[in-house]
Amino acid sequence: MPPTNPRKFSRLSPSPRFSVARRRFLQTSAAAVSGIVLSNCARNLSNNTAPSAETSPTADGTTATDSKTLHVFSWANYTDDELLKNFKDQTGISVVVDTFDSNETMLAKMQAGGGRAYSIIFPSDYMVEQMIELNMLMPLDRSRLKGIDGLMPKWQNPVYDANNAHSVPAVWGTTGLIFDPQRVQEKVRGWDYVWNNVDSLSRRLTMINDVREVFGATLQYLGYSLNSTKPAEIEEAYNKLLEIKPAIAAFMTNGWEDQLASGDLQISMAYSQDAIVLMEESPNLQYIVPESGSSLWTDTMVIPKSAPNPDAAYEWINFMLEPENSAKLVERLKFATPNEAAFNRLSPEVKNNENLFPPQAILDKCEGIAPVPQDIADLYDRFWTQLTST
């Protein structure tokens, strides 16, 4: 919800997530925002030949026929009315934003052929790698990109997409714990607190509804890599998670916020962006990256091969790369930017927000979630099913 991979810069293997992953739902353009709900990821790529504009369905069943309209498929709060208005004022292009709640939801829709209206998509780092392997993404023409050289050095040549050949990094963040310091039993430095206070936490803890995030955090707590491919280590993490099962109220990525703010929950695993937004409303809350480490994720902008309006897509990417535009989005929507030129425009208060831009000492403990071999992904999924269904 960050950057990722520093998670290999990459993030996770396919797993179903049904709440709004890494983003607290904010209403975007009143003109057109729709949530799209699908089930588990379909693994086989459908025909990606670009359809004619007349046959490109949007989420609401309309077609994308207007060269002055750009259809975007995004996480819920990466756009707002001001951004869409400013983009239209500058380019004359109207934007229709549909939202997805997980990378797997997005991929399933694209593979099923229902995403052929979209000319811009916001996949996470690891999903970029998967979509490249599935031949779903258009190679970017760097001669048409303005400002990509302004990215921070570690995003100039990310491991999930060498030299940003198919994607432009847009947003990054961490995964951690959020709580009210006045309501916990002791100082919280990380996952030790959870394992040491299972009884008092009874049904007052929520964890992200994501197999690799939950197992990754536990693997790190045990001293292993977040991306472990060793069956014995993964099983050890599963058994460790069983120890705290009595403390877990639910596996949910969002929907815990009001309960945490009111004190019904004591602590929640959360993506940094969601935590920061909530802390603006409830400044008594605190967010930390566990001392044992965390995942670090990146979300990107890509142009699918089936894009009906690639010219407008390049306009969008260039608009988002403009330092002033990017900096204003950071200020309004509270996500970290990989754009160094934009970072330099931020206020000292925002630059010094360690929840948004953690110090290097914290980042050094983070990993990006990387794809794992299919047999290992299946093992994670099997233990996840056992954990969440008992």
User: To the nearest whole percent, how much of the chain has pLDDT over 90?
Assistant: 69
Contact indicator for 287, 276 with CB cutoff of 8 Å:
yes
User: Given this model, what pLDDT does residue 53 score?
Assistant: 36
Q: How far apart are the first and last CA of the chain?
A: 27
Supply 276's token pair. 């920061």
Poorest-pLDDT segment among 46-50, 276-280, 321-325, 339-343: 46-50
Element (H, E) at 125: helix 125-133
pLDDT digits over 65-95, tens only? 578 999 999 987 789 999 999 999 999 999 9
- Complete domains list, the chain, with CATH: 33-173+296-367 (3.40.190.10), 174-295+371-389 (3.40.190.10)
Mean of pLDDT values over 40-46: 27
User: Given this model, what pLDDT does residue 7 score?
Assistant: 31
The CA radius of gyration of the chain, in Å to the nearest whole number, is: 20
**Structure-model confidence comparison of residues 369 and 308, the more confident one:** 308
Poorest-pLDDT segment among 52-66, 78-92, 279-293: 52-66
Q: Could you tell me the pLDDT band of residue 15, with boundaries at 50, 70 and 90? A: very low
Contact indicator for 32, 97 with CB cutoff of 8 Å:
yes
Mean of pLDDT values over 94-99: 95
Assess whether pLDDT exceeds 90 at residue 210: no
User: Given this model, what pLDDT does residue 185 score?
Assistant: 82
Taking the C-alpha atoms of residue 199 and residue 115, their distance in angstroms, rounded to an integer, is: 46
Nearest-5° angle of CA 270, CA 275, CA 281? 145
Q: Could you tell me the pLDDT band of residue 179, with boundaries at 50, 70 and 90? A: very high
Mean of pLDDT values over 208-217: 91
Taking the C-alpha atoms of residue 355 and residue 362, their distance in angstroms, rounded to an integer, is: 10
Poorest-pLDDT segment among 43-52, 106-115, 130-139, 270-279: 43-52
State the SS3 of 85-97.
HHHHHHHCCEEEE
Greatest Cα pair distance, the chain, in angstroms, is: 61
User: Given this model, what pLDDT does residue 9 score?
Assistant: 32
Supply 319's token pair. 């608009």
Number of residues that this document lists for the chain: 390
User: Given this model, what pLDDT does residue 19 score?
Assistant: 32
The residue type found at 240 is K
Taking the C-alpha atoms of residue 288 and residue 282, their distance in angstroms, rounded to an integer, is: 15
Residue keyed to tokens 């504009």: 53
Supply 141's token pair. 């023409």
Contact indicator for 112, 355 with CB cutoff of 8 Å:
no
**DSSP assignment string, 231-259:** HHHHHHHHHHHHHHGGGEEEE-SSS-HHH
Supply 152's token pair. 């921070």
Mean of pLDDT values over 362-377: 89
The mean of the pLDDT values for the chain is: 84
User: Given this model, what pLDDT does residue 65 score?
Assistant: 52
Taking the C-alpha atoms of residue 210 and residue 126, their distance in angstroms, rounded to an integer, is: 14
Taking the C-alpha atoms of residue 335 and residue 27, their distance in angstroms, rounded to an integer, is: 16
Taking the C-alpha atoms of residue 172 and residue 39, their distance in angstroms, rounded to an integer, is: 26
Taking the C-alpha atoms of residue 127 and residue 133, their distance in angstroms, rounded to an integer, is: 10
Q: Is residue 69 classed as helix, strand or coil in its secondary structure?
A: strand
Contact indicator for 2, 274 with CB cutoff of 8 Å:
no
pLDDT digits over 109-132, tens only? 999 998 899 999 999 888 898 899
Mark 58-74 as b/e (b = at least 16 C-beta within 10 Å): bbeeebbeeeebbbbbb
**Structure-model confidence comparison of residues 345 and 209, the more confident one:** 345
Q: Could you tell me the pLDDT band of residue 27, with boundaries at 50, 70 and 90? A: very low
Supply 94's token pair. 């109207």
Taking the C-alpha atoms of residue 383 and residue 277, their distance in angstroms, rounded to an integer, is: 32
Assess whether pLDDT exceeds 80 at residue 261: yes
Mean of pLDDT values over 310-335: 95
Taking the C-alpha atoms of residue 19 and residue 254, their distance in angstroms, rounded to an integer, is: 6
Assess whether pLDDT exceeds 70 at residue 138: yes
Residue keyed to tokens 């995403």: 115
User: Given this model, what pLDDT does residue 257 score?
Assistant: 94
pLDDT digits over 220-255, tens only? 999 999 999 999 999 999 999 999 999 999 998 889
Taking the C-alpha atoms of residue 101 and residue 97, their distance in angstroms, rounded to an integer, is: 13
Mean of pLDDT values over 2-11: 33
Assess whether pLDDT exceeds 80 at residue 97: yes
- Of 210, 129, 122, 100, the C-alpha closest to 171 is 122
Mean of pLDDT values over 181-189: 93
